[in-house]
Every structure is written in structure tokens, then in C-alpha cells.
Structure 1
Amino acid sequence: MLIIKSVLDKDFFEGTIMAITNINKESNTQHETPFMAEAVYAVEKMEAKQEEKQHQIKGLLDQLFPLTKGSHQDVTNYLLDYHHLVVFFKDGGCSGLRNPGKFVAFTGHRSSPDTILLKDNSGSHVEIIFGLHTPGKDSLVTIADVEIETCTTFSQDFSLAAMRHWISLIKRDSSSHIKAHQVDKEYTAKNGDEYQLNSCFSL
């Protein structure tokens, strides 16, 4: 089983980011190209103006969850059309994810979600949290934060229990350190059902 150090360990992030797509690796037979750990680390360590941070984060989304055409850099609105995530651009064009199945859930309204939840083939979730935005306007979408899921798994002595952590790529804690926390999260699945991610769960 994969053992990850406590989120309180200041060296946690670098080891954790390498394990983002390896949740329960020994029992997971699906594999895909790992998250670009170097790119994620670069975003996390970046001390930059808001505009630069937005550019870096959206560039990361282009690598991890590319669109069929266009770039996350140029998106003015994200919305849900039935079971699909659709994005719009300033020129009125639209696009979707190159791999539509990576969109799994959301919070807020379908025409203007507060968050969208994506997932790769290994089962690792990424939550995109949007800032204040007026849908339909020419202003680009502002991403308030991106949180990446990682898990600590325990041995059989703990009945294969696991703890889910969320690592923020933009926000910091009150001491300006990497923000990593545990919390139960609830979403609406793309088919309208409940989609829950509890901080503690059984494998």
C-alpha cells in the first residue's frame, strides 16, 4: 500500500505530488500518463501576480485536461450540457474536453457552476473552483483555486482504511504555507445523482 507522510510535515508536498495519480496503486490496474508533477510543483512554488498565476494554472489544465480545440486560457464560461462539460470563448465558439469522461461532477448551477470536478483514469480527483464571474460576458473565467486529491492508505490492521487530503495550488494557509486539508465534499454528479467524497473511506 502507498504510505504518504502527514499533511503537517513541511516536506509533505513534494512527496505527495508524485503520488497524486497512484491512489491504491497496488490494486489499480489502470494506468495513464502521470500528472505532470514538475508543472504542478512549479505552480505551487510560484510567487507571482494574479495574472501570471492564472496563466500558469490554466496552462496546467491544458496539459492535464485538454480541450478538443482551443485553450483553457481563453475560456469565458464553463457550463454543463446534459452530461458534458462545455466551454465558450470570446469569439462565440465552444469546445469540450478531449476526454469527456474526465468530467464527473459539479456544484452550483449547470449554467454557471461554482466548481467542477474532474477525474483521471487512476481515480484521482481535481476540483476547479471558480472566482466571481458573470457568464456570457467577454471577461475570461477566473480560477480561484485548484485542489488536487491525494490519499493516505493504511495497512490491513486498519481494515484498508484511507484518508483523503486536498492540496491547494493557489491558496495558502494563515502562515503562507502549502494548504492541505481534510474535508467531506458533496457534489452533483453529471447524471444528477449525489457525488460524495468523504475524508475517510474504506478501500
Structure 2
Amino acid sequence: MTTLAQHYSTTTPNQTAWMATELSVINELNQRHVRQVMDYSKGFLDKTFPLQQGSHKEVCSYVVYYQQLLAFFADGSTSGLENPAQFVALSGHREAPSSIVLKNNGRHIELVLNRSGTTGCQDQACIDDIQLQTAAPDNIWFSMVTGRQVNSIHKGDKRFTCKGGLSYSLS
């Protein structure tokens, strides 16, 4: 079995250039698709978890300040949620959370933040995924980015801190 690198080394320069061009086009299409999915998902956040000012589409970073979720914008301005009670928990450090948990009508939404992630490295707010919880009793999670079911077993293992500092469970 040959690897892709071995295959490239045995091709002619013209074939290599052609493959590089094709891979570049595919990469561009994938990036465009990711941007469209993220724009749609952030539009969903704007409807379900609106900010006092601005849009989730314009956010550069999220920070937890005391018990409030703050969204920072490129111009240095900030905004909290229109309904601050919708922010319920986080994982990671308050100044650089690895995820933010929001809640609306009894259902959780987790913003997975990862600057090195597949999607997070392309998003200005480093959002790698937006995961939605279905209604109880199923407690199934879906990724808005991939459109697939998320392994709910790992959700029970993940540690969250409520905005008051205590442990928070997603169940």
C-alpha cells in the first residue's frame, strides 16, 4: 500500500501541479462551506441567545467576567447577553474558556472553543463547534457544524463550572 506522500513523489511535475491545484480548490470549497455553516449557526445564536448589542457573527472572543458572559468585538467594544441568565456554565478558565454553556427553554447549547480545532482555527471567535441538546429524556446532542450526533457519553465526563463557581451538570 502506498501513502499519499509516496504517490506524490512518483508523479511527474505536471501531475503534481495539477493535484496541488485540485487540492487548493477543494480546500477553498471546504472553507467556504464552513463559513456558511458558521454564519447560519451564529444566526441561530443571534435569535436564541441575542447580545445586547452586535451579533455573534462579529464576536472575536468570549470571556466570563464575574458571573456575566462578555462578547468582545474587533473594535474593542463588548456586549453581554440580552438575557444574562441564559449563560449557565463554562469549562476552562474564565479569561479563555474552552467551552461556554448557554440554556434556553430547558435545553443546553455548548459553544466549543478551540483555536487549534478544525473549525476553530478558521473562526475569529475560535468556535470549533456549536452543540445542541435535544429535549429530555433522550438527552441527545447534535453538532450544528457537522450535522451529526455527538457522543453523549463524553458529555457526562466533561467538567463544567456554573457561573457561581460550583460544579455544573448538563443533565
Residue 89 of structure 1 is aligned with which of 65, 73, 84?
A: 73
Residue 167 of structure 1 is aligned with which of 117, 142, 150?
A: 142
Is the counterpart of residue 126 in structure 1 residue 109 in structure 2?
Answer: yes
Report SS of the residue matched to 2:70.
strand
Identity of aligned residues (%): 36
Runs of 4+ in structure 1 displaced over 4 angstroms?
none
Is the counterpart of residue 76 in structure 1 residue 60 in structure 2?
Answer: yes
Report SS of the residue matched to 1:129.
strand
Change (3 A) 1:70 1:194: same
Matches within 5 A, 1:8-87: 49-87=33-71
Q: Distance in 2 between matches of 1:75 and 1:141?
A: 6
Q: Distance in 2 between matches of 1:152 and 1:140?
A: 33
CA contact (8 A) 1:104 1:117 kept: yes
Q: Distance in 1 between matches of 2:136 and 2:48?
A: 23
Report SS of the residue matched to 1:171.
coil
Q: CA shift at 1:152, angstroms?
A: 4.8
**What number of residue pairs does the alignment pair up?**
132
Q: CA shift at 1:66, angstroms?
A: 0.5
Q: CA shift at 1:91, angstroms?
A: 0.6
Report SS of the residue matched to 1:147.
strand
Report SS of the residue matched to 2:115.
coil
Change (3 A) 1:63 1:193: same
CA root-mean-square deviation: 2.0
Residue 90 of structure 2 is aligned with which of 81, 106, 129?
A: 106
Which one has a larger percent helix, Structure 1 or Structure 2? 2
Letter in 1 for 2:149: K
- Please list every run of 5 or more consecutive structure 2 residues that lacks an aligned counterpart in the other structure: 1-31, 117-122
- Please name the residue that 1:189 is paired with: 162
- Please list every run of 5 or more consecutive structure 1 residues that lacks an aligned counterpart in the other structure: 1-47, 134-138, 154-162, 173-177, 199-203
Q: TM-score, normalised by structure 2?
A: 0.70
Which one has a larger percent strand, Structure 1 or Structure 2? 1
Q: Distance in 2 between matches of 1:50 and 1:166?
A: 20
